Structure 1
Amino acid sequence: MSDAVRTEIELVEGAFLPSGEPVLTPFAELSRLMLLGIDLNQDNHIVWTAQNFPNGPWSGTLSAVNDTAYLVLGTGLTMDGRVAMAAVTDASPATVHYIDEAPQAAGGAQRWNAPVDLGLPEGLEGFVQIAMQRDADGRIEIFGVDGATGSVWWKYQNPDKIVDTTEEVIPPGSREPITVHVKVSAPPDTPWSDWIQLPGSGLARLTVANDINSRLTIVATGDNPDATEVYVNAQTQDRVLDTSGWTGWTRIDNSDSGTAGSVPTAVLDPEGFLNIFMVGIDSQIVQTRQTDPGKTSWSGWHQVSRINAAVVNVVSAFDNSGNIVLMALDENLGLHANYQTDVQRQTWSGWQNVGTAPDFGLVAMDYNADGALSYFQGETKTNGVKFISQMAPGSTHWSAGWTTLADNGIFTYGIVRDLTPPEQE
């Protein structure tokens, strides 16, 4: 799932924009792709590797963020486009650290701020999953899943406070200053909220996405491995500071969709509808869509054509035109792409076999600075990570060979778009 929000971006010089597309189209931005992962070979340190520059080759080096060992990782971006992460420490007692990018050193060297200790909810020993996403204010919100009860805990950056101040100004036509009272924003007294439990339990995995208003929607699976339910919990207003601003968990799977055979993936389409895809009935891909942009109600389930094999995983992103692209992995390691061709009519290209994956494992897909997509495949047997890319923005051809980012050791990772890449020489 892409974590992109349709906001104004800085365009790469000379980037191609389709005729008639507004400059708010979410592609052709000045960014580079970055992998953050936990590396068994480096004592469970968080490591990073990235493209040397937008659309450029990858560095090929896995560099440690700090010297702390971690077990669980979530990744995202700050309000100003810096890479950020939240991770559970591999310690007793465990805690959650928040880390973000620091200003680059001379020569463009990557640097990271020291971890901020966010603690854990009282009585918890850790989380089995962490997710993070920017909200409608641009603030980071973090979600953790308690593996013992299946409860979801929530923590967010507090909004700025409004303070009264006095200033002296000279009114037009006057020479004498007068004192006026004005309200200005200031940093909050406490940077982060407490951990807040979202009511409900029995959940296992979750995906967090922004709707067209940038409000957050959580798509979660239940913890019953034999019949995995699917639930949605969405924010109902732009600024949510307590549980009253959430819809609560609503089950959305039914007999048409079947229960979940994979973690759902969520993505916006060009008309501003949030779409959810998952492996469902008959081990095929099914889809539901918001009834209207920004709404908390959902359409009936649809099948996105069929693949001639049982599907085990699916991931989504949008391409250079804003249309959705799906990548599905079948039980024989066949890799299949499907391209949305008309969002209003909900028409698709049909599944195209684009290659064979090196293994099963954690997957991700996101766009490069020019809008061409890259698909990342984890390898469960070796803990390696490889990727392939579209040959050009909007292309239905993908690279024939896989590029290796890690031979082994990366048992969990996230892909982010670094909006503060080093300057090209």
Structure 2
Amino acid sequence: MSVEQAASEEFEGNVTADPSYFRIFFAATTPGGVLEYKDQTQENGGFAADFTQLTQTVFKPAPLNASVTQEGYVALLAADGASGNLVYIRESRNQDAPERFAPPQDLGKPDGVPDFLDTVLINGVTGRQNVFVTSSAAGNAIWWKFQNVNTVKMETITVVPPGTDTPVEITVPVEIPPSQPWADWQQLPGALCSITATQNADGRIILAGINADSVPYMNMQSSDRPLLPEGWLGWKDIAGGLTGFEQLVCGIDGNALVHIFARIGSKIYIMSQQEVSSEQFSSWALFASFNAPVQTMTVSVSSNNGLYLAAQVGSGADSPVYAKYQTGGADDNWSAPQVIAHVANDSALLLQPNADTSLSLFALETGTGDAAVLNQLTLAHWSATWTPLGGPLSAIALTQDVTPNPS
């Protein structure tokens, strides 16, 4: 289904029904290109035993992103296995719909982009979805696409004022869906291999990424023209004298300050926003140092409203996962690094909050494709054993499911 054929229900305004529950939504692609998912069977509980195939479309094993729409519905981004086009899939807003998910929307891909090195799906300043991609072609161009906002027109309607039987005509502003649901692909200046994003406290998007020379950059939407390429402040080299950047992750804490974490060899560094929604960040500070290279890391908001970072250190079977978190909830005080788990083998890691704000740590083994989850018991303590989730899987993505649905 093309974007032009997409149902307009997504653009009809916000849903007012209260959510009936809050569950973690676990999406995955298999090496054969099957897109599937499973939910927690109840709030803060375990997951369904089996996966449900989401659509008959065959997708590429990666990329895969998950998010929520402005109304709280699950949304996914994957790449079509045949065309390579990005595909956007969201839950249907109609609770009586025969299928839980609306028909996939083909977002295409930018001209001259054979494949994607990295993709991001995130809500923007309007509350609607934004997609960012980096190209595998020479030059590693950065492209951007977003859901268009509704337009407003004046419409004359007839009403009967309270206390009278006489109808009168009044002219009122009425929201109507955009003629084109998604904007065209727009190229942002610059070149990156990996890209990550978070929202500023005021809703503007902050992008961070690393180029082919392992140099990190950051960019932020300006407030005056957020839906145009010129509405960005421009890429800023944030290396700060460090070299060899391997990964960036970012998050916003309970004080609404954005933090960026960098992985370089056996060390993790941190830089923090100086004021809420400010363009200014601190210099890099050493966050943690280990006796082996850091393989990967992930960050999330924790139960005390502060940030929580987890990282696999070392490589191979039984490698430790270290954690470090803001002890005051949203201040500059952090716990000492501590081992919270061991992974079966090298793994991609993702943290996701539960309904009760405790965290779940998800691990996808890069060798076998087996996925597992570990549950947090208290801020500093985790379960002793992982719960298998299935496999083999090629990519996983997590988000929150806060809307009623039948399954």
TM-score (norm 1): 0.85
Structure 1 residues 345, 372: closer, same or farther in 2, change over 3 A?
closer
- Asked if structure 1 preserves the Cα contact closer than 8 Å seen for 2:299 and 2:309, the reply is yes
Give matches, 1:36-115, under 5 Å: 36-40=27-31, 43-71=32-60, 72-91=63-82, 93-102=83-92, 111-115=100-104
Is 1:260 matched up with 2:260?
Answer: no
1:161 counterpart residue number = 151
1:128 counterpart residue number = 117
SS at match of 2:130: strand
Question: Cα RMSD over matched residues?
Answer: 2.5
May I ask how many residue pairs the two structures share in their alignment?
A: 386
Tell me how far apart the structure 1 counterparts of residues 199 and 146 of structure 2 sit (CA, whole Å).
Answer: 15
- Describe the superposition over 1:204-231 as per-residue Cα deviations: whole angstroms up to 9, x where unpaired: 111111111121111111122xxx1111
- Describe the superposition over 1:52-75 as per-residue Cα deviations: whole angstroms up to 9, x where unpaired: 121121002122111111112222
Tell me how far apart the structure 2 counterparts of residues 318 and 190 of structure 1 sit (CA, whole Å).
Answer: 35
Shift of 1:419: 1.2
Structure 2: which amino acid aligns with 1:417?
A: Q
2:232 counterpart residue number = 246
- Asked if structure 2 preserves the Cα contact closer than 8 Å seen for 1:274 and 1:289, the reply is yes
Is 1:325 matched up with 2:308?
Answer: yes
- Describe the superposition over 1:27-64 as per-residue Cα deviations: whole angstroms up to 9, x where unpaired: xxx31112111112xx3111111211211210021221
Is 1:32 matched up with 2:19?
Answer: no
Structure 1 residues 387, 171: closer, same or farther in 2, change over 3 A?
closer
* Equivalent residue for 2:263, pick from 266, 279, 303: 279
Is 1:137 matched up with 2:126?
Answer: yes
2:5 counterpart residue number = none
Structure 1 residues 221, 419: closer, same or farther in 2, change over 3 A?
same
TM-score (norm 2): 0.88
Structure 1, unpaired ranges of 5+: 1-7, 13-29
SS at match of 2:230: helix
Give matches, 1:341-356, under 5 Å: 341-342=327-328, 346-356=332-342
1:405 counterpart residue number = 389
Is 1:298 matched up with 2:298?
Answer: no
Tell me how far apart the structure 1 counterparts of residues 330 and 30 of structure 2 sit (CA, whole Å).
Answer: 44
Tell me how far apart the structure 1 counterparts of residues 150 and 381 of structure 2 sit (CA, whole Å).
Answer: 47
Structure 2, unpaired ranges of 5+: 1-15
Shift of 1:421: 4.9
Structure 1: which amino acid aligns with 2:117?
A: V
Shift of 1:125: 2.5
Structure 1 residues 159, 239: closer, same or farther in 2, change over 3 A?
farther
Shift of 1:143: 1.1
2:200 counterpart residue number = 211
Shift of 1:306: 2.9
SS at match of 1:303: strand
2:140 counterpart residue number = 150
Shift of 1:167: 1.9
Structure 1 residues 116, 340: closer, same or farther in 2, change over 3 A?
same
1:362 counterpart residue number = 348
Is 1:381 matched up with 2:367?
Answer: yes
Structure 1 residues 309, 9: closer, same or farther in 2, change over 3 A?
farther
Structure 2: which amino acid aligns with 1:137?
A: T
List structure 1 runs of 4+ shifted beyond 4 angstroms.
Answer: 8-12, 103-106, 170-175, 421-424
Tell me how far apart the structure 1 counterparts of residues 342 and 202 of structure 2 sit (CA, whole Å).
Answer: 37
